[in-house]
Structure 1
């Protein structure tokens, strides 16, 4: 910035200085010599700073505790928040990811659509070797306006500080450390065109809360993450819409938008990587969701969500499994006010999946990995008891089989194709194509 100012001053001198009179020319020459000397001084200072930065290596940003270890070389690659070697000399790093998807229903071709699913810009700035700010901004569905379906949102915005002994603390809006996908959700980091149903309907990816968090490591490969944050707002539940049936927690999360905070929530996660290429872990999140809302019938309702997950990448294989279970308590009085509506509040929802991928072919920086995934999930597994004739029956589990392949192009671009078969609602069977990138 200082060099630019000096150059601008030089340009201003040459362009605006009068050319008449020897006295003026002499004054101009003196000013040019003075500015040139100052420029040489600044150049010397910058050279010294570069030499100092090269002699003192920076500390890369820690990988989120629930993200698959990057040593698992056969897994899809997440690059959006990695710190490139070329960027280590910079205090501010820009990153991003995006995806464009094509979905063609098998039984209803008129429903075929192409969507700019999301475009994300990330900014990470290091104030020093121990303190950084992380921000992530997302646009969904191509166009954002009052009459369109697009969304514009702040996905993350937090400050993190590293302390002695590997302890890290953060404050702001950050992703919850749950499952395998929530913290590592770039299109290069997972198999298939669409994110799996269990980690979108049961665990509402990308799920973030505002608050305080602590994380660290101990023992042989153990990592922990805990915090006190905002939670869900059950008063947002709309029994007349189908949003709650698509994802109970997704329909009532607050995303840091004027979030009710009378009732705060606790979360904790524990992961173990003590064996090569193996990750085993779990998480729990719990908090009241009524916030002492005046006239609300479920101020004592509590939402609890937990998961168990594992990932193993022996040789060319990439194997993973996840189970998630959610419960909303004390909903009887609230559902009594929803009688006659199609979507009361469920007392439980759950799901699980198994997935296997294999690195079948590699040529240069091209890698082809076929995969198969089977998942079972239910967003209305059970309801609290209601008087005879007034309750809504629980829904059956939906089961989805997905087969397809990811073609990685280098470390930052992926082409995807898959076919999804639904057991309950066969009208949802579809073919998907996708393009994704992360940098």
Structure 2
């Protein structure tokens, strides 16, 4: 047991202290954004908005994310990742506090759009910072550590948020969200100021290629949109499937979803470390992750045994653990011929687009076609993603990038 524990700890060795600081700041930030999981409840229960109004507000949420990711990438290339992260966190803190005072539909739409615009400027900046503070051989594991921080934050946030709502109400939630963003800002300034934290791998391209001229990247971009649409079904249509087809309680659904975060926390870093040692191509590993995710949907149509839900969740989790870190590492490699902020912004936008359309598409298909046909179609989307990744692999071989 001790040997197994030591082996697990060894997978974290070699990462710079700046990466650990970034992970801690990410955890504080993600745990703090606890308004997000309760947003639809707040809008319907506290403000008495209709489902139609909530749908439009969530569209404003997604649109703000797209614009914020794009703007964050532009600003990162212009003024640097440190300034973007500080200004994004600081402004987001005040916007979260102010959001509670908006009560009309129009103002809520505008407020949510602005909050997400400013908050998601942070995303491309932190990926560029992560690359700068990581040695080339540690980049994939650094991404994995940041992902662990995000998952832990998302796990802790809803639990703390539920307690706050039960004790002091939704107003307290906005205050805590805002204050945690401000605390994360102070922490960031204290530990990652350029005078204290030095980059170890800052690539400055004197003649950068525009991301819009990079054919390989756009094949990759559309593959990630498709993967995101499939992956997000586990957080919108799949809980409904658990309830309607298997009559699971909210507690049982929570356990299934919680298993995803637990498995990622325990196994992702050792898995990534092991896969890196096998010297597989990043594109091939993303393809493997997509294949596992597609299998997690199709197997549901061939068994009525309740245990199949656990198997499907494990397959999806494995797919996620393989696809996300290596897709991030791949875009870092591709960005070296251009501006990293621009590339990372486009990468994060692919998932923002998946958020805008993925939940809606899945719910509409379930309503019109039923669950079984929906899972067949989602599997088809994964196969389309795999076809694009095969095309990407060929394109990268032609250009000598793989």
Q: TM-score, normalised by structure 1?
A: 0.22
Q: TM-score, normalised by structure 2?
A: 0.23
Q: Which has the higher helix share?
A: 2
Larger Rg: 1
Larger RCO: Structure 1 or Structure 2 (Cα < 8 Å, ≥ 6 residues apart)?
Answer: 2
